[in-house]
């Protein structure tokens, strides 16, 4: 059921395609964020080449003209001020931009997302970062073939074991 137009204008959409797909991670950053649905960003590819502040690779979306290219992710409903807070979390290494995504029902929506400003194709993600991405993708019910591709991404162990444990502690395991 559609929400009234006045309510619909009260929020914005944010398309998460990396670690923020994990609701546990996203709601620690933006407590009021609400999962809306899974979504697809056509004509883009997912790369783990964004230069992270910790020296590892983070997710990025890159425009791509390969037939069928798409990045899947989670669409969150957030308030405008939440996007400003996300800008702070994402830091100076990302730029917020607006993209058009499609939901499983075929609805086309505008959403904010982040693209990397600096990349290095030699970087690999830390295992804990990849775990955030996989958990978010799995819980969102993204396509099995997409999740298999995510699982195949090479990663490295974080030399900072305390950070590794801290990052994964959000899952309460």
Question: What's the token pair of residue 138?
Answer: 């799995």
Spatial CB neighbours of 48, under 8 Å, sequence gap ≥ 6: 57, 58, 59, 60, 123, 124, 125, 130, 153
Whether residue 69 contacts residue 2, with contact meaning beta carbons closer than 8 Å, is answered with no
Whether residue 74 contacts residue 140, with contact meaning beta carbons closer than 8 Å, is answered with yes
Per-residue exposure over 94-115, b if at least 16 CB sit within 10 Å of its own CB, e if not = beeeebebeeeeeeeeebbbbb
Catalytic machinery residues: 90
């Amino acid at each position: 059921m559609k929400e009234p137009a006045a309510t619909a204008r009260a929020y914005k959409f944010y398309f998460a395609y990396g670690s923020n797909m994990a609701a546990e991670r996203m709601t620690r950053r933006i407590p009021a964020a609400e999962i809306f649905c899974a979504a697809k960003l056509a004509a883009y590819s997912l790369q783990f080449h964004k230069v992270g502040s910790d020296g590892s690779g983070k997710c990025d979306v890159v425009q791509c003209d390969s037939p069928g290219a798409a990045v899947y992710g989670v669409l969150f409903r957030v308030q405008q001020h939440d996007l400003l807070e996300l800008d702070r979390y994402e830091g100076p290494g990302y730029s917020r931009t607006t993209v058009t995504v499609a939901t499983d029902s075929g609805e086309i929506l505008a959403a904010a997302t982040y693209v990397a400003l600096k990349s290095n194709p030699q970087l690999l993600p830390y295992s804990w970062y990849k775990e955030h991405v996989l958990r978010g993708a799995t819980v969102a019910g993204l396509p099995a073939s997409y999740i298999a591709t995510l699982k195949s991404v090479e990663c490295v162990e974080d030399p900072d074991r305390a950070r590794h444990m801290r990052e994964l502690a959000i899952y309460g395991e």
